[in-house]
Amino acid sequence: MAKKNKKRKQETKFCIGCNKPHAKSQFYVSYNKLHNGVYPYCKKFIRETVVEEDGGINLDKFKNILRQVDAPFLADYWKTATEGKSYAIGTYFRLLKLHQNKNLTWKDSRFDTEETKKQKAKDETVANIVNKAKKDALSIKKKKFKITPEIVSRWGENYDYNELLYLEKFYNDMHMTHTIVTPQHDKALIMISKLQLRMDKCLENDDMANFAKLHKEYQTLLTSSGLRPIDKVGGAEASGIKSFSQIFEEVEKEGFIKPAPIEENQDIVDKTIQYMMNYTLKLLDQQVLTEPPIDTPKADKSGDKGG
C-alpha cells in the first residue's frame, strides 16, 4: 500500500512594511504582547531600513526595533555580533536566545560595554581625585588668606574672595621683585594689579579685542612707573650687597687691593703697655715696638678724663 506524502503547508505572516506575505521564518520573534509573538516587519524590510548607504548599520534605528519588540540592547553582545561582519542583526538575535538572556527586556538594556564602563569608572575616579585636590587647595588658601580691613581698603568692595587672593598675590610678588618706595609707586602697582586681573579674565573668555586694549594700557603704566620686568631690582642689588662672583671679577681685573689701615687714637694705656713691653725686650736684647700691640685692651674713655 502506497504511503501518502502529506505536504505540510508552511505558515506565513504578512509584512506591514513591504505589504507582502512571507514565511514565518522570515520574521523575528517579538516579546511585545501586541505583536502575538512575531514582529510585523520581515527581515528583508528591516535590513533595508537599518543598513546605511555605506553598508553600516544605523544603530539608533536598530535600537528602536529592539524597543518595539521589548528586547534588550546589550553592548557586549552587539560588539561580539558585529566583529568582522557587515550585517549582524541576525547574529545578535540568536545571542539573545541564550539562557541567561531569556528574561531580559528593553528595560534591562546595557548601552556600554564592560570595557567602557571600566574606563568611565576610571575617568570618574581621576576626576574625583582632581576635584578633591582643587577643593583641598582652595580650603588651604582660605585658611592661610584672610580678608582684612587693610585688603578691602586697598582693593575696594567689588571683588570676590578668589579675585582678592589673586590681587594680593600679584601685589606682594611685585613688592618682592621691585623697589616700591613712594606712594606714587604703590598707587601705580595697585592699578597694574587690577589691569593684570582684567587681562587674565579676557584671556579666559577669549576676548582678545579687550585684552589688546588693556594690554596697551598695562604696558604704558608699567613703563611710566618703572615697574617693567627689566626694571626689577633684587634685594641684594637694592641694598648694595655684591655677590662673590662680582667681587671675584673685580679682583681679577684690578689685582689684589690692600685695604687701607685702620687708624686708631692711642691713649695712655696703649703707651704704658708699649713702654713695659719695650723694657722687657731691651733686657732680652730684642727689637723694641714702635706701636702698641694690636690686642691691647682699650681703656674706658670715661676713665681717661680723670687721668
- Residue 204 within any structural domain of the chain: yes
Lowest mean pLDDT among 180-184, 203-207, 258-262, 294-298: 294-298
Q: Which of 70, 83, 71, 91 is nearest to 113 (CA)?
A: 83
Indicate if 191 and 231 belong to the same structural domain: yes
The per-residue pLDDT for range 129-144, each reduced to its tens digit, is: 777 777 766 665 666 7
- Residue 32 within any structural domain of the chain: yes
What value does the mean pLDDT of the chain take? 79
Amino acid 192: pLDDT = 92
Indicate if 275 and 232 belong to the same structural domain: no
Angstrom distance (rounded) from CA 93 to CA 102? 11
Question: Could you tell me the residue range of the domain that residue 204 belongs to?
Answer: 160-236
Amino acid 265: pLDDT = 63
* Of 184, 214, 236, the domain-final residue: 236
Overall number of domains in the chain: 3
- Residue 182 within any structural domain of the chain: yes
* Of 81, 108, 135, the domain-final residue: 108
Indicate if 16 and 104 belong to the same structural domain: yes
The per-residue pLDDT for range 241-293, each reduced to its tens digit, is: 455 555 666 666 666 666 666 666 666 677 777 777 777 777 777 776 666 66
Instruction: Tell me how far CA of residue 237 lies from CA of 123, 131, 173, 180, 291, in angstroms.
Output: 50, 43, 17, 14, 40
